[in-house]
Structure 1
Amino acid sequence: MRAEDLSPAQLRHVFGSNLRSLSASARSISALCVELGINRTQYNRYLNGEAFPRPDVLYRICSHFDVDARILLEPLETIQRASRVGAIGEISRLLSDLDMLDIPQQALPEGAYLHYRVSYFVPTEISCTLVGFQRDSHGVMRLRGYMPYASSDRIGLPRAAAARRFRGVAFRQLMGFSFILSMERTPLMVLGGFEPSYLGQENFYFGSSVSTQDVLSPAPILLQRLEPGVAAMIAVRGKIGIHPRAHYSPLIRGYFDKHQPA
């Protein structure tokens, strides 16, 4: 139902519900009223949907909670969702203006890749994750994968695919490409970049990344493009997970040995 179709009583109910949600994090309603300079009895009337505040009082409420006057008309979750969508839209427009989403096919072919990095948990071991890169209907290169069981078990995530899934977007850069990804169910984000042809190997990309789990210094990373087909996927099954460095080829473990912190 549109806001203009609501009765005054229904609008007061919307405002009261929003105000209760915003006030929930306050130390106490009494202390909040003191901060806002609003009479406690009158504030209770707002909370109960019995009255609207005067413009000057509404301004103090909106300023305190960093919201706008839409809290009089729309449910708080709708306003917050619209704000998030608006922010994402601004980011998308910025990237589009900079032409960073246009990655040539030869720079990053679609398909399956193996992503290698030093394990967060055991520095002498290497974590390997299967990642897929695919262009969407707008030509944006998206990446998707699942945290290995060995990693999710260590941080207490369920083994269900939805709990381990991550998604991201790749961007064109001067050499190679950069990316940003995030977990769907865990507040973990990673930002990094790759350059092509590690040691002349066209199917290997080398680079570094930082994450919200490890932000002190960039971590070396490798990306290996797999040949298309089921056979290639079966052949690399044993690499996925967390394994000692000796488990991997000299090219892979040599890259991480070379970038071992002093």
Structure 2
Amino acid sequence: MQRGELSPAQLRQVFGENLRRLAADAQSVSQLCRELGVNRTQFNRYLHAEAFPRPDVLDRICSYFDVDARILLEPLDALREPCRQTGALRELTSLLSGVGALEVPEDILPSGVYLYRRVSSFNPGAIHCSMFALSRDELDVARIRGYTPVDASTRIGLGRKPGKRRFRGLVFRQLLGFSFVISMEQTSIMVLGGFESRYLGNPKFYFGTSLSTQDVLIPSPILLERLEPDCAAVMAARCALGMHERAELSPLLRGYFDRYAPLS
């Protein structure tokens, strides 16, 4: 039977079962009723699927147990994961908005296309380069979108298909510079890092470090390069993608990685 075909009595059974599970951890049902501001007799009717609560009572129940009104219609197990996600997002939003972390200034970190270079996880003598687009959404949140180059994605078992190689992330403002979090869409791999602007005074380069959840013991120096905002520059930069030996890099790039990730 589909949910839309359930009778009122069956819907009350769903809510009653949910409420019994939510109230199971309470030390005292009487104390729980006092905290909810609900009559004990009426609460027992909810528990035994004999009645639905009024909207104001339902709101107090949902707020108390950190759930939403879907407990009237859907089993609790089907709601737990979305509720956990909502709670985590609410906490993260509170942390970020409290320090103005979402206010990423366009004049220091413009929207556009960037090259992202780091020491290779497979060969310390090589530098890995990928490309991403930085944009602002309608709420002015700085977002990252890009694809892992084929050579790297095949090494970690993701294959060649674009959907498997796609990553996305967010950029946040810090007291000095910026931080970011990137996540692969098809796996649990994440990259966390931070960077500052104007490497050697050059406004096109941003320098910092990153840490992959693949190898949390070895942070890597990173160097971001902002490309000129035209199609020709982006197309020309495609030859830089993938893995390159340090000797192939320009003196500026090679000097940075030799300084912050010297070869033993």
Normalised to the residue count of structure 1, the TM-score between the two structures is: 0.74
1:94-140 CA-to-partner distances (Å, cap 9, x unmatched) read: 21121111011122100000000011111111110001110110011
Query: Which runs of 5 or more residues in structure 2 are unaligned?
Result: 26-64
1:185-239 CA-to-partner distances (Å, cap 9, x unmatched) read: 1111111111111112110010001121121132100000000011101211110
Query: Which runs of 5 or more residues in structure 1 are unaligned?
Result: 16-50, 61-66
Label 1:206 to 1:59 Cα distance change in 2 as closer, same or farther (>3 A): same
2:203 alignment partner, SS class: strand
Q: In structure 2, how many angstroms separate the alpha carbons of the residues matched to 1:131 and 1:9?
A: 51
Label 1:107 to 1:53 Cα distance change in 2 as closer, same or farther (>3 A): closer
1:53-108 CA-to-partner distances (Å, cap 9, x unmatched) read: 99589727xxxxxx999878524333311321231122113211211110111221
Matched, 1:59 2:24: yes
* Identity rate, percent: 49
Matched, 1:189 2:187: no
Q: In structure 1, how many angstroms separate the alpha carbons of the residues matched to 2:184 and 2:119?
A: 19
- Which position in structure 2 is the counterpart of 1:74? 74
- Which position in structure 1 is the counterpart of 2:38? none
Contact 2:120 2:243 in 1 (8 A): yes
- Which position in structure 1 is the counterpart of 2:42? none
Contact 1:107 1:176 in 2 (8 A): no
Contact 2:118 2:221 in 1 (8 A): yes
Label 1:9 to 1:173 Cα distance change in 2 as closer, same or farther (>3 A): same
- Which position in structure 2 is the counterpart of 1:127? 128
Matched, 1:100 2:65: no
Mean Cα displacement is larger for which, 90-99 or 200-209?
A: 90-99
- Which position in structure 1 is the counterpart of 2:229? 228
Aligned residues: 220
1:103 alignment partner, SS class: coil
Q: In structure 1, how many angstroms separate the alpha carbons of the residues matched to 2:153 and 2:12?
A: 45
Label 1:233 to 1:72 Cα distance change in 2 as closer, same or farther (>3 A): same
- Which position in structure 1 is the counterpart of 2:90? 89
Q: How does 1:134-149 map to 2 (within 5 A)?
A: 134-149=135-150
- Aligned residue identity for 1:105: E
1:137-161 CA-to-partner distances (Å, cap 9, x unmatched) read: 0011111111110111111113221
Q: In structure 2, how many angstroms separate the alpha carbons of the residues matched to 1:199 and 1:93?
A: 35
Supply the RMSD in Å over aligned alpha carbons.
3.0
- Which position in structure 2 is the counterpart of 1:257? 258
Q: In structure 1, how many angstroms separate the alpha carbons of the residues matched to 2:206 and 2:242?
A: 19
Deviation at 1:9, TM superposition (A): 3.9
- Which position in structure 1 is the counterpart of 2:151? 150
Q: In structure 1, how many angstroms separate the alpha carbons of the residues matched to 2:114 and 2:19?
A: 59
Deviation at 1:8, TM superposition (A): 4.0
Mean Cα displacement is larger for which, 139-148 or 74-83?
A: 74-83
- Which position in structure 2 is the counterpart of 1:161? 162
Mean Cα displacement is larger for which, 126-135 or 75-84?
A: 75-84
Deviation at 1:257, TM superposition (A): 1.2
